[in-house]
Structure 1
């Protein structure tokens, strides 16, 4: 039996340049484990069928929520947006994050506006 190798997240992040392009680095119990570089604002969106998991690796990420609430995340901090809650992640400077979502779930909550699934 061949077991998987350890995954170097920084090496995976070094393979691409663009922001808001989550890339799958592993699969865990039917969920994509993804890394992304982020900067500026992403669109307001909602995931009607699943929670949205964010873990900050570098930089600072803000997640805007309804009723003018904002969660600030620094390296090593995570936040789970409950399913059905509108949110908008943003970063004033480049940050890197790890995301976990069900495989095939659109990252924008809508197939029409989602980034295509990329595996690196």
Structure 2
């Protein structure tokens, strides 16, 4: 068995996220996902077919935030974690979202960890 950590870090998206009146317009949110991926055996070839292709996570997040406004970061993190766990090889996922511009002096974030 082989275990890897696959990371999508710092994906910046413009999306509707929040409950306050000033958050009805899209705002900058930074998303990171860290997935523990388990393979049945050590990798034998240097081929994308052998491993988790993280493009599905990035594309899924982009589609999700384009189609749906979220009230809460917790709900957004949960949805992204569910997306990552859709691949059976993903055993654990840590998702972090950060509202980058909500305050002039701080960023506000949320993090979730889900395991299979």
TM-score, length basis structure 2: 0.25
Larger helix share, 1 or 2: 2
Larger strand share, 1 or 2: 1
TM-score, length basis structure 1: 0.24
